[in-house]
Amino acid sequence: MSAASPASRWRGPLQLVAKRIGLAFVTLGLVSAVIFTISGLLPGDAAQELLGQGATPEQIAALRSEMGLDRPALVRYFGWLRGIVIGDPGKSLVANMPVADIISERLPNTLVLAGLTTLFAVPIAFLVGIWSAVTRGHAADRALNIMTLAMVALPEFLVATIAVLVFSVKLLWLPSITIVPQDPTLVEFLRAYAMPVMVLGVGVIAQLGRMIRAAIIAELDRPYVEMAVLKGVSQPRLIFRHVLPNAVGPIVNAMALSLSYLFGGAIIVETIFSYPGLASLMVNAVTSRDMPLLQACAMLFCATYLFLVLIADTVAILANPRLRQG
C-alpha cells in the first residue's frame, strides 16, 4: 500500500532491463559460436582452397600455420572472437586489406540509405496501419489489406525492375544506378537515392503497416476499449490515448524488425542499384568465399538486430506499468 520512493520505483525496471542486456550478450556469444562453426570450422581447409589443387602438401602446411589453421578449434574461435570484440576482425582474403577498413568505408552508405528509408517509410506505415485498423472490415481497410498483402509478397527485384523500367527507361527521370556524387546538392542527393529508397520503402511500409494494424486490432478487441466507447470517448482519443499506449510493445518490436531489415537485408536492392553498402559487401564476400569479411559482416548484422530488439524490449518494459513496477 505504501508509495514506493522514487529510487526504488526504478529498481524493478532497471533490473529487468539489465537482465535483458545480459541475455542479449549471451545470445550474441552463442550466435558468434554458430557463425564461426558454420563458416570457420565446418567447410574444410581454407589453405587448401586458396592454393588450389596443384599445391604441394608442404605449401599447404606452411600456409595453414601462417593462417593459424593448425591450432585447435577452440583456440581459433576465441582468437577470432577477440578480434571481433576489439574491432579487428582480421584481413580480407580477397582484398588483402583489414576487414575493419572495408567495413568502415561501407558503413556510412548503409546508414544513409537505412536512415532515409526510415524517414520515408515509417510515417507512411503508421498512417496505413492506423487507418486500416480504425476502418477495420470496411472498404478502405480491405483495399489497403490487399495492397499491403501483395506488396509483402512481391520479390524486391520485381519492384526494382518495374521502378527502373518506369522511372529510368520510360520516363528518364532517375538514374538506374545509385552513385552519390561528391558534395551533392540536395536535389542531386535526393535523385540519387530516390529509387533504392522507394523500393526498400515498399517492403517496409507493407510489412510494418500490417504489423501496426495487427497490434492495434488486438487491442481493439479487448474489453477496456468497449468500456471506453461506452464512456463516450471519441475515436481519435480512443486510438491515441487508450489503444496506442497499450500497443507500444508490439509496435516497437515491429519497428526493430523493419530497421534491422534495412540495415542488413537490403541485399537485392544494393546489388541491383550497384550501391556500395554493407549488404552487397556481404554478397561479394559470399561469392568470393572471403570468410573473415563474411564473418564480420554477419556478426555486425546480428549484433545490430539484437541491439534493436533490445531497445524495443526496453521501450516495451518502460511503457507497461506492470513490467515497469517489476
Partner 1 sequence: MSSTRLFRAVARLPLSGKIGLVLVIFWIVIAAIGPFIAPYPPGSFSNQEVFSESSSEFWLGSDYLGRDVLSRLLSGARFTVGLSAVAVAIAASIGTGFALMAAVGPHWVDELLSRAMDTLISIPSKIFALVLVAAFGSSLILLTVIIAITYVPGNFRIARSLAVGLARLDYVEVARARGEGRLHLALVEVLPNMIRPLCADIGLRFVFIVLLLSGLSFLGLGLQPPDADLGSLVRENTSGLAEGALAIIAPAVAIASLTVGVNLLIDAATQGKAR
Partner 2 sequence: MNPAPHVAVRNLSVTVRAPDGSPLRIVDDVSFTIQRGEVMALIGESGSGKTTIALSLLGYARSGAKISGAITVGKASFGGAGQATLAAQRGNRITYVAQSAAAAFNPSRRVIEQVIEPALIHGTASAAEARKHSMALFEALALPNPETIGSRYPHELSGGQLQRLMAAMALITRPDLVIFDEPTTALDVTTQVEVLQAFRKVVREQGATGVYVSHDLAVVAQMADQILVLNRGKVREQNSVKAVLETPSDDYTQTLLAAAQPVIKAAVPTVAPTAVGAAPLLSIEGIHAGYGAIDRNGCAAHPVLTDVSLHIGRGAAVGVIGESGSGKSTVARVVAGLLAPTAGTVSLDGEPLAASLNRRTREQLRRIQIVFQNADIALNPAHSVGEILGRVLRFYHGSSSHQARQRIAELLDLIRLPAGIADRRCDELSGGQKQRVNLARALAANPDVILCDEVTSALDTVVREAILELLAELRRDLGVAYLFISHDIATVKALCDEIVVLYKGTRVESGLRDSYAAPPFHPYTDLLISSVPELRTDWLSSVGPQASARFAHMHESAALCRFVPRCPVAVAGRCDVTPPPHRAMTAGNTVLCHRTESELTGS
Helix 6-36 to helix 291-319 angle, to the nearest 10 degrees?
A: 160
Which residues are registered as beta bridge partners of 98? 91
Q: Among residues 170 and 231, whose Cβ is nearest to partner 2?
A: 231
Give the 3-state secondary structure of 229-259: HHCCCCHHHHHHHHHHHHHHHHHHHHHHHHH
Q: Among residues 146 and 179, whose Cβ is nearest to partner 1?
A: 146
State yes or no: residue 314 binds partner 2 (CB under 8 A). no
Interacting residue with partner 2 among 246, 271, 288, 314 (CB under 8 A) = 246
Interacting residue with partner 2 among 228, 283, 303, 318 (CB under 8 A) = 228
Torsion angle defined by CA atoms of residues 29, 31, 36 and 41, in that order, rounded to the nearest 10 degrees: 110
State yes or no: residue 87 binds partner 2 (CB under 8 A). no
Q: How far is the CB of 175 from partner 1 (least distance, A)?
A: 13
Binding residues for partner 1 (CB under 8 A): 27-28, 30-31, 34-35, 38-39, 42-43, 145-146, 149-150, 152-158, 161, 164-165, 169-170, 176, 260-261, 264-265, 267-268, 271, 282-283, 285-287, 289, 291, 294, 297-298, 301-302, 305-306, 309
Q: How far is the CB of 241 from partner 1 (least distance, A)?
A: 27
Place of cell 507512411: 124
Q: Among residues 15 and 37, whose Cβ is nearest to partner 1?
A: 37
Of 313, 323, 318, 307, residue with least CA distance to 252: 313
Is the CB of residue 285 less than 8 Å from the CB of residue 279? no
Residue ranges in 194-223 that form contacts with partner 2 under rule CB under 8 A: 222-223
Residue 229: name its binding partner from partner 1, partner 2, none (Cβ under 5 to 8 Å by kind): partner 2
Residue 246: name its binding partner from partner 2, partner 1, none (Cβ under 5 to 8 Å by kind): partner 2
State yes or no: residue 142 binds partner 2 (CB under 8 A). no
Place of cell 561501407: 106
Residue 132: name its binding partner from partner 1, partner 2, none (Cβ under 5 to 8 Å by kind): none
Cell matching residue 289: 568465399
Distance CA(126)–CA(106), nearest Å, equals 30
Q: How far is the CB of 28 from partner 1 (least distance, A)?
A: 8
Cell matching residue 115: 536512415
| Residue 164 neighbours by CB under 8 Å, 6+ apart | 176, 195, 272
Sign, CA torsion 30/33/37/40: positive
Q: Among residues 17 and 225, whose Cβ is nearest to partner 2?
A: 225
Q: How far is the CB of 69 from partner 1 (least distance, A)?
A: 15
Q: Among residues 212 and 266, whose Cβ is nearest to partner 2?
A: 212
Alpha carbons within 13 angstroms on the beta-carbon side of residue 308 total 19
Residue 147: name its binding partner from partner 1, partner 2, none (Cβ under 5 to 8 Å by kind): none
State yes or no: residue 236 binds partner 2 (CB under 8 A). no
User: Which amino acid makes up residue 170?
Assistant: K
Torsion angle defined by CA atoms of residues 215, 219, 221 and 222, in that order, rounded to the nearest 10 degrees: 150
Sort 32 into a burial class: Cβ within 10 Å, 0-12 / 13-18 / 19+: buried
Place of cell 534495412: 262
Interacting residue with partner 2 among 1, 7, 86, 187 (CB under 8 A) = 1
State yes or no: residue 224 binds partner 2 (CB under 8 A). yes
Residues, the chain: 326
In the complex, the residues that contact partner 2 under the rule CB under 8 A are 1, 3, 222-224, 226-234, 237, 241-242, 245-246, 319-322, 325
